[in-house]
Homo-oligomer: A and B are copies of this chain.
């Protein structure tokens, strides 16, 4: 099943996905509902990652899509990505203010001046809650730990009409915490495993050195340093638009998160951490784009890998 040539534009791809009932407009840029077919593919991919990860013996630890504001402060998140963070505000007023706020909302006036910052922010990446939770247990066991926070929602404040750039999307992460050489070896091994998994799904994928979308002028220097040290690898696949889209990333954080949260090895040294993140929705979109909008017509290879009957 082919898409019309003008579907190369991300917005045209979004229209095709909505027309075929795979996505449901959610009433705001970058917010979409997902159909049974879309969710079935997404969950099957998540299970395929679990099968590929079975040998890691990872400990599952699942967190909600909000976390303490303090965690963003401790990790310096706002130095790198102030433009992507979402913070949670709430109402702490009394009876009359509540009535005023509701009346303003009835008239679609701006009632948000009556909201105050809470102690929570939206989760910018699924692994952020993992590091302090593991640190709270004390020094790591020998050999470190691998944590599986599952497929969970993350938030990025970047409204657009591009289906590959949602504001709230599922990220399946795996997190490795341990000695520097263990962590680097884990990332290298997973780069091969993740590439092989996406190739078995019939995707035209390649790995490349990448950088995060750091904010502002200082961000350009951070990006250059990140590339020079090859701290971020991305697996990219053509989906829509002129350039391929990152569908997974493998990140070496060195001591960044461990120092922020006091994660230490058994011998007292600061641990290293790394994470692998698959972008669930982007992978489903890559599959739909590559093999057609109806999974019943997909080739045997990807269907076998996803255990489709």
Q: Which residues of A contact B (CB under 8 A)?
A: 24-29, 31-36, 39, 59-73, 76-79, 82-83, 85-91, 93, 95, 98-99, 101-102, 105-106, 108, 110-112, 115, 117-120, 122, 129, 132-133, 136, 150, 153, 155, 157, 159, 166-169, 215-218
Contacts of A63 in B (CB 8 A): 24, 26, 31, 33-34
List 19 A-B residue pairs with CB atoms under 8 Å apart, sorted by A's residue number: A26-B63, A26-B67, A26-B68, A27-B68, A33-B63, A39-B150, A64-B169, A73-B105, A73-B106, A73-B108, A83-B91, A86-B118, A87-B90, A88-B89, A89-B112, A89-B115, A95-B216, A99-B216, A120-B167
Report copies per complex.
2
B88 contacts A88, C-beta separation under 8 Å? yes
A32 CB, nearest partner CB in chain B, Å: 8
A3 CB, nearest partner CB in chain B, Å: 23
Q: How far is the CA of A24 from the CA of B72 in the complex (A)?
A: 19
A35-B61 in contact given A86-B88, A91-B83, A133-B24 (Cβ < 8 Å):
yes
B90 contacts A129, C-beta separation under 8 Å? no
Q: How far is the CA of A296 from the CA of B258 in the complex (A)?
A: 35
Q: How far is the CA of A76 from the CA of B32 in the complex (A)?
A: 23
